[in-house]
Amino acid sequence: MPKTARLLPGVPVAEAVFADITRRVAALRERGVTPSLATILVGDDDASAGYIRIKQRQARQLGFDSPHRHLPAYATQHDLLDVIAGLNADPDVHGVLLQYPIPDHLDYDAALLALHPDKDVDGLHPLNMGRLALGLPGPLPCTPAGIEALLTHHQISVAGREVVILGRGATIGRPLAILLAQKRPTANAAVTVVHTGVPDWSRHTRRADILVAAAGVPDIIQPEHVRPGAVVIGAGVRYAGRRLLPDVDEACATVASAITPRVGGVGPTTVAMLFRNAVTAAEHATT
């Protein structure tokens, strides 16, 4: 049993993806195309506004246009759908990000459904989830795609190994299970999805070669839930104010062979995949 697990940072993974995106953006600009990622923010939540600023800054660094639409917290569903319709119809906008969460009186799922699937940089539109399930081309959900990229970058073999995902959410658990089970060199795993409604869920996590925590329950994964020598990926988090509360207790590093850091693990790869979806959308829209 290793005393301290090898860390699996996401920053070098993101940097490699951004280097590829920069090359692709330059090729688009040589053809007179400026890729564009539009953002929509509803309300004045400080954390959400901060995330938008980070994404806009990254967009500028990569050579994207980043038009922004900011609606007040009292905006109606019609107001939001009208903004989405305008961005759908704009040929100079290749990708659209609706920052989540939105105010409680608005229907996020209806807004997502109204977004053109090919401009959905989060990869969460129902049509894109269907494409994923059928193995058809389309934007991939960002966190699952980032996890696959992270494992590949750090040369952790997935094919033929047992992956257990704790969490069945639509943004991570379910799409990640589909993604890692697909027949590709960087996937092709035996995948089990469990959740906190499963009695003795740790019976499943303790047999995993690769354990992905995506429950959104702080510190739910303790050392006794991890098979010695396993790889542990922390994907689920909650926030207490600005304080990050990850699913994986840091003590798991005494049991695992490799583990994502508390900060700077899956997060940077998620952002990188968002921009990869955006540049791909720009390429498809202009060829």
What are the structure tokens assigned to 191, written together? 């995948």
Identify whether 183 is a catalytic site residue. no
Annotated catalytic residue within 58, 99, 120, 209: 99
Annotated catalytic residue within 55, 118, 120, 247: 55
Taking a C-beta distance cutoff of 8 angstroms, is the pair 73, 44 a contact?
A: yes
SS (H, E, C) 79-97: HHHHHHHHHHHCCCCCEEE
Rounded CA separation 211/111 (Å) = 33
Taking a C-beta distance cutoff of 8 angstroms, is the pair 75, 42 a contact?
A: yes
Taking a C-beta distance cutoff of 8 angstroms, is the pair 232, 205 a contact?
A: no
* Residue 97: closest CA among 138, 67, 72, 77: 67
Q: Which residues have a Cβ under 8 Å from the Cβ of 197 and sit 6 or more positions away?
A: none
Q: Which residues are registered as beta bridge partners of 40?
A: 69, 98
Annotated catalytic residue within 118, 120, 122, 247: 122
Instruction: Cite the active site residues.
Output: 55, 99, 122
